[in-house]
Amino acid sequence: MTVHNTDWIVPRAQGYDTNRSLRDEIISGLENVMFNPYMAGNSEFEPLESDFASKLGMKYAVAVQSATAGLILALRACDVGPGDEVITVGNSDISTTAAISIIGATIVLVDILESDYTIDGSQVASAVTDRTKAILPVDLYGHPSDCIALRKVADEHGLKIIEDAALAIGARYANHHVGFYSDLTIISLAASKPLSSSGNAGMVVTDNLALAEKISLFRGYGKEFDPSRTPPLSDDHVVEGFNLPMDPLQAVVVHAKLPYLMDWTDKRKRIAGLYRSALLDKEVKLPTFSENADPSFSSYVILSSRRDELHNEMRKKTH
């Protein structure tokens, strides 16, 4: 395929431009990790965790290998397992339901709101059984779910809310960053996401210290560290865990970009406004949002009866 007018080419991922804009800082940080004789990867993601939590107004953040890993660890930290049920939606990436299945729990699907594609809170209460352990809303396309309504259901039935905010970093609901109303919130930092690494990475945020400690324990082989002893005597495996920490090289990239999160979010909102103005009189259904929602616009999704035709035309303008 030949594209003649390159002025109209839309880059596939924002990460390319953000990496270039912070090139020197990122490369310097990568060199510090790669040529560190101690290869102490946690020295990179621990400062990131602190700054990340602060940026989102949360108390704790745990850096993990990916958002999928974060979902699995979060479910396990909430003691979800075989015989338990998790209420979620069916219009998400497969990682949402796969995480539930991987730990042996049962997926219970409820419908979404046609207006914003997020979980229909009015259907959640009727889906609760004596086997339900958690509610797993998905903030699709950067639109936050109504976790205020979900919080009421969760508190009434003694359930945990594990929020899949993989696409929603920078979004707010009722003037709070995503995660404020949930027990655990998982954010993707993959290369194609609004705040991107150069590969795979994720973050779990929470205000619950006990849950944060469990996530941290499970991501590192279930190993507790005793600073009063020297390795290997300092390591005590207290539970069966996984090897799912964030790669330190990815932590460098994400940390360099973190200060610009809200500036970039505001820029996407302005672009979304331009899209709306340009498409308002076209034969498409534009995104709509609930009153309390302030989306981050990881995508700008429209509905059209000419879907395939529009898709083919858009492919000509991407690279």
Angle in degrees, CA 72, 73, 75, rounded to 5:
65
Specify whether domain 21-260 bears CATH 3.40.640.10: yes
Please say whether the beta carbons of 173 and 293 come within 8 A.
yes
Q: Which comes out higher in pLDDT, residue 139 or 236?
A: 139
Whole-prediction pTM: 0.92
Given pLDDT bands bounded at 50, 70 and 90, which one contains residue 104? very high
| pLDDT attached to residue 11 | 55
Q: Determine the angle formed by the axes of helices 248-257 and 42-55, rounding to 10 degrees.
A: 30
pLDDT of amino acid 196: 95
Average pLDDT over residues 274-294: 93
Specify the pLDDT at position 4. Answer: 45
Half-sphere exposure of 259 (CA within 13 A, CB side): 4
Share the mean pLDDT of the chain: 92
Q: Which pLDDT band, with edges at 50, 70 and 90, does 316 fall under? A: confident
Res 85: pLDDT? 99
d(C-alpha 275, C-alpha 273), whole Å: 5
Intra-chain end-to-end CA distance of the chain, in Å: 10
Which residues, including other chains, have CB under 8 Å from residue 293's CB and lie 6 or more apart? 116, 143, 144, 171, 172, 173
Q: What is the domain partition of the chain in residue ranges?
A: 21-260
Residue closest to 199 by CA, chosen among 254, 259, 255:
254
pLDDT of 2 strictly over 70: no
Section 154-181 average pLDDT = 98
